[in-house]
Amino acid sequence: MDYHLIHQDSIGTVLDKARQYRALREPDLAISICIDVFAVDSDNQDALVVYILALTDQYSHSGTKVKDKRIIQTIAKLESAFHRHYYTGIFLERKARAWLKNPMSQSFAYEGLMEAIAEYEMAEKMVPAHCSDPILRYNSCLRTIEKEHLQPRVEFDELY
């Protein structure tokens, strides 16, 4: 059986449904909708954003295998440098927050949050007028580092 194609005029409505599925914590359904959009408009920027967010939503679902390479490749398709930095920050932050759930991965969480902070700083330098999103994410990462008392990884060589 072949997949059916959506009508190009329905993309806006279809993406609204994908956003609803994300809100309902059903990232797989949102991802499926985005793939349907890509079948008729492969570079749709709104669909790329929803797709990136839905893929990274999977970090909060235990047992779900997240494909980092797919996320990175999708971020690269974003036309705006601001969006590439901002969504790279989102990707790194969400991955780091998933590491927080495992006490043995605290240092990886620290490194991931610091990498996200660097991306948010880059995004902040090119932010559109009246957009505080990178600042909010930056501050959230910093507060998480402080709240969780996260520290950089100690290399074994430094112990001796």
Looking at residue 125, its pLDDT comes to 97
Answer yes or no: do 84 and 141 share one domain. Answer: yes
What are 63-111's pLDDT values in tens digits?
778 999 999 999 999 999 999 999 999 999 999 999 998 888 888 999 9
Answer yes or no: do 64 and 117 share one domain. Answer: no
What are 28-59's pLDDT values in tens digits?
999 999 999 999 999 999 999 999 999 999 99
* Any domain includes 158: no
CB-based contacts of 49, cutoff 8 Å, min separation 6: 78, 83, 87
Last residue in a domain, options 25, 50, 78: 78
| Full residue range of the structural domain in which residue 71 is found | 8-78
pLDDT at 154 over 80: no
* Any domain includes 37: yes
pLDDT at 160 over 70: no
Answer yes or no: do 90 and 43 share one domain. Answer: no
* Sign of the CA dihedral running 113, 114, 119, 123: positive
Looking at residue 153, its pLDDT comes to 82
Say whether pTM exceeds 0.85: yes
Answer yes or no: do 74 and 93 share one domain. Answer: no
Looking at residue 157, its pLDDT comes to 54
Looking at residue 112, its pLDDT comes to 97
Answer yes or no: do 85 and 143 share one domain. Answer: yes
At 78, which helix (H) or strand (E)? none
